[in-house]
Chain A
Amino acid sequence: MKILGFDTAAKTASVAVMDETGRLLALSYLDSGFTHSETVLPMAKNLLDALHAAPSDIDLYAVNCGPGSFTGLRIGIAAVKAMAFALDKPCVGPSTLEALAWNAADWKMPVCTAMDARCGQVYFALFDCSSGEPLRLCEDRTAAAGELRPELEACAARFGKILLMGDGAKPLVDLYGDLCRPAPPNLVLGSAYGTCAAARKMYREGNTVPADALVPNYLKVAQAEREREARLAQT
């Protein structure tokens, strides 16, 4: 059984192939600034060619379904929907934040995944990885970077120092360095390894969907409106 996973939810693009045992067979990662619409399909083709495999040899198609960049999510999901639909293969669409946490699950630390949601907001989730698998401690949500201290303090008191991941980690390191440490540069933005690992678990649990049921999850950033009104009132 082979899983082909895509991560296009933020600035980096990544594609990976994993087998049913969780062994990573191939991985491609690009932080080039080029649009994902031009990069991810050639990346997938190169990986499959290197494995002497065809798209029809893939048993499960996976893509991070959000939160994340509007354009990035649509590119990844459209690509996966098209391939899975044409080949009549099952899909899974893990949370981008949970897939990111899978990249660090073997560190067995609590993991905070935070992605830049713009205007001082982050997409945020917390996971307990002490078992080697991310166990969700809260739902994915948006939050102002500056108001996470009580939640991070409670998590650190229970599980110890928190590993910070994602492109929203930097401001959180500056604000909560006493509770958190940043993941190393080769890990902080994650890769489609995490997408495949999350997908493998969803597959084992029977949570696959047909291609036409795969949809993006754009988390609303309601607080951005309120903060904007406050900013405009000051000027």
Chain B
Amino acid sequence: MHCYKGPVPVCHFDMYRIHTFDDLYSTGFFDYLESGAVLVIEWSENVAGFLPEGGIHIDIRNTGETDREITVEGGPF
């Protein structure tokens, strides 16, 4: 986890090795939920079911050497 301070703080979580509720608890993730920061969660599929509702899902697919297909769902999208 790394936090970037600014007018809107951004906290980046990498959940690659996180699989259980206890794993997630011990990242401190829940302590950031109401902090006012934007939480960017990589490998969020590993913690699906523990995340609050209303999140925005961003899917980035590699479609070529310099091409990416980005799908944004949820929230206002």
A70–B26 Cα distance when bound, in Å, is 6
Chain B interface main SS type: loop
- Can you name 28 A-B residue pairings with CB atoms under 8 Å? A33-B34, A69-B28, A70-B26, A70-B27, A70-B28, A70-B30, A70-B31, A71-B28, A72-B31, A118-B30, A118-B50, A119-B21, A119-B50, A218-B22, A218-B25, A220-B22, A221-B21, A221-B22, A221-B25, A224-B50, A225-B20, A225-B21, A227-B49, A228-B21, A228-B48, A229-B49, A232-B48, A232-B49
Check if A231 is an interface residue, CB within 8 A of chain B: yes
Residues of A within 8 A of B26 (CB): 70, 218
| Residues of B with C-beta under 8 A to A225 | 20-21
**A residues neighboring B (CB under 8 Å):** 11, 33, 69-72, 118-119, 218, 220-221, 224-225, 227-229, 231-232
Contact: B30 with A69, CB < 8 Å? yes
Count residues on chain B whose CB falls below 8 Å from chain A CBs.
Answer: 15
> Quick check: B35 and A33 within 8 Å, CB to CB?
yes
In whole angstroms, what is the CA distance A69 to B34 when docked? 12
A218 to B23, CA, bound (A): 12
* A220–B22 alpha-carbon span in the complex (Å): 7
Selected from A11, A220, A224, the residue in CB contact (under 8 A) with B34 is A11
